[in-house]
Structure 1
Amino acid sequence: MEAKQIFEDLLSEVEVPEFAGIQLKLDQPQIEDPAREIREQLACCEPMEQIRPGDTVAVAVGSREIADMVCVVAAVTEAVKKRGGLPFIVPAMGSHGGATAKGQEDVLRHYGITEENVKAPVRSSMETIKIGETARGFDVHIDKLAAGASHIIPIGRIKAHTDFRGPVESGLMKMIVIGLGKQHGASICHRLGFPQMSRNILEFGNVVLENAPILLAIGIVENANHRIAHIEAVPKAAILQREPELLELSKALMPRIPVGDLDVLVVGEMGKEISGAGMDPNITGRSCVLGSFWPDAEKIAVLDLTEKSGGNAAGMGNADAITRRMYEKIDLTPIYINGLTCRDTQGIRLPAVMETDLLALRFCLYTCIRRSAVKNARVVWIRNTADLKTMYISEALVEEAEKKRGLTVVQRNLKPLQLDGKLALRSPGGMICGF
């Protein structure tokens, strides 16, 4: 008997459970026209008065896909031009984009940040310049093009980081230090380790604020629906005070998987535009640095990689199994660059590769040891960690889920099946559903 057949026979005893479809009610604040909101704020923002005709203004944009980002960036460049300034866009994304100038420009283009769309040229370079030293003697660098501008305006989303905790996590200070620091800044900060990352960002960030021409920053908080809930022009002098407050707002708005103590979490897709870790550990409950927490899934299966990731599956080490179709999309070079920058080998490790979605799920169920999961398994299937409005839970979780506020069970007794190697569900009436 062939090894492949032996392997599949071993997994044949695993009973893939029936599922139920659930919807979460995510009624959260949302700004309907964030571009207009930021235009109005900048029109009466005192630091904007420092812009003189002919001043160059570097608008720093990161590598994350943020809601309405194109119109927000365009609104900022428009406000700069009204003051007579000459705006240009600089990528502020550390080593992302393969740590090349073209790669980082390509990342922005993927998100629609082009000269045509935002009415300002994109100038991308990996060259940095030293602007100071920390109290411990570490050199602090930022993007040379940005440092040479009259003013710098970073635009960033503020949220919980995937791998560290502190008064500042993912947000404006991290963009100023690691984003504008390019490969050099990212490498130094990460070399000091994730456990002290928030402190390191503040230490390096203070040097940047003192020595670089930061004018103000645009802080963005998204709601659970991936829409802008809050946008704010933050003067340079207020960034250190305001960012921790906006971080708390972001954490309060963050959604979560409503049921825990899972055998398997199935993630339909991971990607760099979804999370820096491909799939957000704040949602999956698994981090190479922070360990395991809610929803406390013993195993995680990931079924696909987004096209916008460009093959970068950094963070895949948080999964136990992936599919063949995901594996064939992976480009190891940018993944390993991320690993070098972060000094992380766990997040870039290759999980078990299964030929189909159902095999990936069966493999994870079979290898559970906390309890037997070959029958009556506790499984949750989500599209990705940025989209939790609809998800599927195994029938073993329905009774528990029905007790949760803001949750509606909309379908029952959905039988799993495979269509062209992909996981799908069939309702009792014959309707096919899934992601």
Structure 2
Amino acid sequence: MTTAQFYEDLLSAVSIPRFVKVHQRMEDTHVENPYTATVEAIHKCENFPKIKQGDSVCIACGSREIAHLKEIVRAAVDTVKAMGGNPFLIPAMGSHGGATAEGQKEILLTYKLTEHEVGAPIRSSMETVEIGKTAEGLAVRIDKYAAAADLIILAARIKPHTDFRGPVESGIMKMISIGMGKQYGASICHSLGFPRMSQNVTDIANVVIAAFPKITGIGIIENAYHHTHSITVLSGSRISEKEPHLLEKAKSLMPKIPFEKCDALFVNEIGKNISGPGMDPNITGRSAFMGRSAPDFDGIAVFNLTEESHHNANGIGNADVTTERVYRNFDMRSTYANSITCMDPFSVKIPVVMPNDKLAMKYALGIAYKADPIHGQKVVWIRNTLSMDSYMISEGLLDSAQKIKNLKIMSEPQEVPFDSNGNIIQPDWT
């Protein structure tokens, strides 16, 4: 008897429901031309630092998949050159990329931030320079290339963080304190735990801003469709003053799964390019640090790890079951480097591993013991937490879905198609 057949027998009583495709209408305000919008935002910026002929300008970029990042960075590079500066890029991503200079550079190249595409070289290093201390005595360090530049510009998406709350979460301030701090700086910032994170990010970033008054941030907000909603450029102390307001705007645009309680969530793929913990807890309602919240799922199944994640499976611990495919792609070195830095053992714990997608589905459904036997299992099936405009729901959610104004049912109920190995023949998500 094969392993798959063994589990098939154990889970034989669990049925997989039929699914319908739904479209979710969300706020779709966006900039038509991100390149032009970036150039205009730089020129509109209050107190944008004066660039002298020959000044070196560091443009810091993170590890997340940001819509139109290449165009935004290219706009910053071209504008700096037009002002007489000499721009270069650095990875500003804490311990990501396996906490190595080569791994971090490779992430930028994945997003096509090559010298050919954006017009500036990459200088990647894990070496940092200490520039001061916070009032509480935390050492403040930033990338050695950034510290030596005449001007620092950060291209950062502003959004709710996945594991802590505060006036400042993910964005420019976090990229200053954790991203440019590399592994050492990220570890220092996490040293007092997630309840203190927002304050630590603010304190460390303010030390950097005071030491480098010419620092500037390109604040990118995306809408629920993963399109660029707006671009705001903030310089110096305006960063700490204005970023909390931009965060509130970003929160208002976040997509949501419009069901309070469900039996299971199926997630096609997770990855560091999608969210820090692979799948955004703001969407899934499952966080290693903040626990469970609406939408609350009794079972979460993850089927794939994105190629762009470079085998970093951080966040897989928030799933209840995954597949052998994900397990084989799990690289402990790159994943655990992130875990050690963040002091987060929970997000990297390996869940139950099933031989294929079908059995992973059955396992997640099997542990959802509260499923309604009359109306059927309530299941949401998404591509990933960045793609929330179109997804699948089980027949058990149809009655609820028909009462939700911004949700449109797009198909008749259909069985999930599997290949001969028990893996999903992917549905048309569009």
Aligned match of 1:173: 173
| Paired letter, 1:323 | T
Aligned residue for 1:50, secondary structure, equals coil
Aligned match of 2:407: 407
Aligned match of 1:306: 306
Shift of 1:93: 0.4
Aligned match of 1:190: 190
Aligned residue for 1:263, secondary structure, equals strand
Give the conservation status (yes or no) of the 8 Å contact 2:59–2:90: yes
After TM superposition, the structure 1 = structure 2 runs for residues 65-214 of structure 1, keeping only pairs within 5 Å, are: 65-214=65-214
Q: Deviations over 1:221-267 (max 9, x none)?
A: 00011010010111212111211111111111111112231110000
| Paired letter, 1:60 | A
Output the CA distance in 1 between the equivalents of 2:88 and 2:422: 46
Output the CA distance in 2 between the equivalents of 1:324 and 1:375: 32
After TM superposition, the structure 1 = structure 2 runs for residues 229-240 of structure 1, keeping only pairs within 5 Å, are: 229-240=229-240
Shift of 1:47: 3.5
Output the CA distance in 2 between the equivalents of 1:394 and 1:222: 29
Give the conservation status (yes or no) of the 8 Å contact 2:3–2:355: no
After TM superposition, the structure 1 = structure 2 runs for residues 24-423 of structure 1, keeping only pairs within 5 Å, are: 24-371=24-371, 376-419=376-419, 420-423=421-424
Output the CA distance in 1 between the equivalents of 2:149 and 2:373: 59
Give the conservation status (yes or no) of the 8 Å contact 2:104–2:124: yes
Normalised by the length of structure 1, the TM-score is 0.95
Shift of 1:215: 2.8
Aligned residue for 1:269, secondary structure, equals strand
Output the CA distance in 2 between the equivalents of 1:372 and 1:399: 13
Aligned residue for 2:408, secondary structure, equals strand
Q: Deviations over 1:327-370 (max 9, x none)?
A: 11111111110110011111000011111111001111112244
| Paired letter, 1:268 | N
Shift of 1:4: 5.8
Quick one: structure 1 residues 79 and 11, their matched pair in 2 at CA, closer, same or farther if it must change by over 3 Å? Answer: same
Output the CA distance in 1 between the equivalents of 2:176 and 2:161: 15
Give the conservation status (yes or no) of the 8 Å contact 1:263–1:373: no
Instruction: Number of aligned residue pairs: give it.
Output: 429
Q: CA RMSD in A?
A: 1.8
| Paired letter, 1:300 | I
Q: Deviations over 1:71-93 (max 9, x none)?
A: 11011011111111111111100
Structure 1 unaligned regions, length at least 5: 426-431
Give the conservation status (yes or no) of the 8 Å contact 2:94–2:180: yes
Larger displacement relative to structure 2 (356-365 or 169-178): 356-365
Output the CA distance in 2 between the equivalents of 1:155 and 1:361: 39
Aligned match of 1:429: none
Output the CA distance in 1 between the equivalents of 2:170 and 2:242: 14
Output the CA distance in 1 between the equivalents of 2:79 and 2:145: 21
Aligned residue for 2:218, secondary structure, equals strand
Shift of 1:100: 0.8
Output the CA distance in 2 between the equivalents of 1:418 and 1:277: 28
Quick one: structure 1 residues 3 and 92, their matched pair in 2 at CA, closer, same or farther if it must change by over 3 Å? Answer: closer
Aligned residue for 1:417, secondary structure, equals coil
Aligned residue for 2:122, secondary structure, equals coil
Quick one: structure 1 residues 11 and 75, their matched pair in 2 at CA, closer, same or farther if it must change by over 3 Å? Answer: same
Output the CA distance in 2 between the equivalents of 1:74 and 1:51: 17
Shift of 1:409: 0.6
Give the conservation status (yes or no) of the 8 Å contact 1:15–1:374: no
Normalised by the length of structure 2, the TM-score is 0.96
Output the CA distance in 2 between the equivalents of 1:347 and 1:281: 11
Output the CA distance in 1 between the equivalents of 2:214 and 2:279: 31
Output the CA distance in 1 between the equivalents of 2:403 and 2:66: 33
Shift of 1:375: 8.3
| Paired letter, 2:272 | K
Shift of 1:190: 1.0
Q: Deviations over 1:128-178 (max 9, x none)?
A: 001001111111101111001011011100000010000000000000000
Output the CA distance in 2 between the equivalents of 1:375 and 1:347: 33
Shift of 1:35: 1.0
